Chains A and B, each alone.
Chain A
């Protein structure tokens, strides 16, 4: 390595170290700036209601400052000449390095060049970049750490926010939450029950859009309530419009009568058929099967007890058990129940096969249990089926439009059959004729049924089928309208929920919890339960100025509550056995609480003794004038009373 190369390599090493040092200095400076920025943002955030995103932004900027400082510091590579000058100054080399570099690259006297470079090379060996540029924490680093520590401390200080700001923020959060809930419910409604009518679909989509807008926009409570009220008004109008249709009232009544979440008539019929398939020809009575089951359980317990005792001396018991089981088997057979496992159990008992006997007994009990359960279901379904209309007229009258539609479909099939006897035709005609009046609320349905009846009378089976189909179609349309109305009602309910949430500042989930029961009647859900007086889209009674006699109106909800008709004489069990202030030796003393002192314990001396001692002390104090004059009278009276 030549001398100039030695000089150059030494300087390059110093240059790299210098560059890294600059980068680190840049890092610390950037960190200082970033920490300052972060502290400033945090301090401002603690006293002023700036958005929390500003903190994130400040943190990002702080980190960027540190990284930027590092990059900026290390970006420029120091030139060799600059490094040489810097090293000359730092190492007190009297400009040897810089002159050598310059002379080496300049057309100068070669002898002088050699001398200068040689001199520089001899000093270049002394250059140690690590001691020349030691990495140590700069003042900026110390300040940065201090600022970060201060920022950490400031982080624990709670933010100061005005009450109005907190309220606004809470309102915003509630509105956002309500918007989310509203949009979710409405979209679910749209997906579950796609509206048939375009205006209804548009209304529901508008509500969903309003929910989205609530989530995005930062509205005030008043604005949100205004928007909700506006949409509610529109939906209410639509509901009113739908409610004008008389069929809607009938369908709504039918739905309310069956109760919410109840299967439709058609579904009930299907369930009934499925159950009958399972039971086959048996028609067990649930009460009797329950009795049978109870008996069998008792016998099973007895059999288990017998099995535990062993075989010795149990012959008589076994015989008795066998007879009881045989009687039970006969009883089941009389009820029409088939229990093969019971027969096998009897056989096993006869064969003294205890395990098999118990196993068969368990199996027969299980069969019986299953039969009992099916019988109960069958009974419930039968009860529900009894509520269903038996014919078209009843179905229409009870508002069971789906059943009526199914009945019409069956009728159409019958009418379209070619070989229909006159009796059958007459029967159909009678049924259709009877349904004309009940079908009046169902739009054109009554007219179509009337036409069908006339056509049947005239023997126009094709025309009758067409009219019946038109009636069925009319019913279908009405049911669709009813479905739309239900969707609107559900959305209306969601909007009311939303209004209540926004108005009361509660979140969406809280408003939908049990406490509030839309549609509930006052008093049903318990004391203090909210009731929606405005519920029911068909219950909008128009206001009237006319006088109304409400003397006969029964208002059980207005009955006085909280008063019991209890006998004024107390139950002996409720009479207190201890009188306050009395105690006897050996018993627990009543707790006496004085300011700062709590006295508890067990009495060890007679009350009379204690009272006498206290009285003598009191007399002594009174005689020695230790008691203030104003209190002497009351103290004397108190101890005189104790004597009595």
Chain B
């Protein structure tokens, strides 16, 4: 298939996915878009929002529209790593022998919904680390590859913090996007009422299978990026590094740590997806800026002063975008 046809297919698929999800999920367009961008970018998503905003529904619906294996893990404080990864169990073979067999955990699926991920202990949470980054798990002394594609869609609740364990920075960094799910608007809420308080049940169909998804993910990576756009993404990330020559003032004031290189990778990759989704063949500054919050907000570590003053990472990112010039000429001038 030619590149042009692949691009056309990408757009078609993207639109179809949006349409199918839209059948179930009302509103939250930005969240849906971002989730799809992360999907085609091959990254994991952390959805944060108060209960009842449709986080789980979104992921579940995504599992339904994608012709992929789907598993859901409800994270609780007593959840153990083996409950996620799997464990060796003594099994009786057909010829009557007993032997240890590895029983795969729910992580062995294409799409994993990690619901309320922050309720699990750090020990359990860290079981996800290798899976998310290396797309493999080590269990029972053996290295086991996860199937491609592998996505983790985690949700967490910002309130009701008792008995929760904040995700470690290392794990947060492994998420492609952190999306903040907001309240629906009046119209959206009305539509939710109409759909959920009647006998109507939305039916969704499979839109995308594994092979096509992998193809499209490969296609996305081929989207060309101009050097100055790539440089802009790099400079954005460098500007978040406090106490460095490239840092902007707000980073020096409110950040303890800036974004990792994964942040820059995310910016570029997500930019490519967004460009293709918007019918372009190249990444623009606007693409980078549009996904900057989702890509960087969980990678910036605020200092005590910021916490005390109620400064969020989104504030910092806004200011960084404002202060970092788009072109090198502007920097030199």
Contact = CB atoms under 8 A, between A and B. Distances in A.
Given A111-B3, A111-B4, A115-B3, A95 B283 contact: yes
A111 B2 contact: yes
A88 to B, nearest CB: 8
Interface in B178-193: none
A85 B285 CA distance: 11
Contacts of A430: none
B281 interface: yes
Contacts of A216: none
B280 A94 contact: yes
A96 to B, nearest CB: 6
A94 B282 contact: yes
B281 A119 contact: yes
Contact of A85 (B3, B222, B286, B329): B329
A115 B227 contact: no
A94 B226 contact: no
Contacts of B280: 94, 96, 119
A102 B275 CA distance: 17
B199 to A, nearest CB: 45
A102 B223 CA distance: 13
Contacts of B329: 82, 85
Interface residues of B, number: 24
Interface string B35-66: 00000000000000000000000000000000
A75 to B, nearest CB: 15
Contact of B282 (A82, A85, A95, A109): A95
Nearest to B288: A95
B326 A89 contact: yes
A113 B281 CA distance: 9
A112 B286 contact: no
A116 B2 contact: no
Contacts of A116: 224, 281-282
Interface in A86-120: 86, 88-89, 94-96, 98-100, 102-103, 108-109, 111-113, 115-116, 119
Contact of B226 (A102, A112, A113): A102
Contacts of A119: 280-282
B228 A85 contact: yes
B164 to A, nearest CB: 41
A531 to B, nearest CB: 80
B282 A99 contact: yes
A95 B226 contact: yes
A115 B280 CA distance: 9
Contacts of A94: 275, 280, 282, 284-287
Contact of B227 (A89, A102, A112): A102
Interface of A: 82, 85-86, 88-89, 94-96, 98-100, 102-103, 108-109, 111-113, 115-116, 119
Interface of B: 2-4, 7, 222-229, 275, 280-287, 326-327, 329
12 contacts: A89-B327, A94-B275, A94-B287, A95-B228, A95-B285, A99-B224, A100-B282, A102-B224, A103-B226, A112-B223, A115-B7, A115-B281
Given A82-B329, A86-B327, 10 more contacts: A85-B327, A95-B228, A95-B282, A98-B228, A99-B229, A103-B226, A108-B224, A109-B3, A115-B3, A115-B4
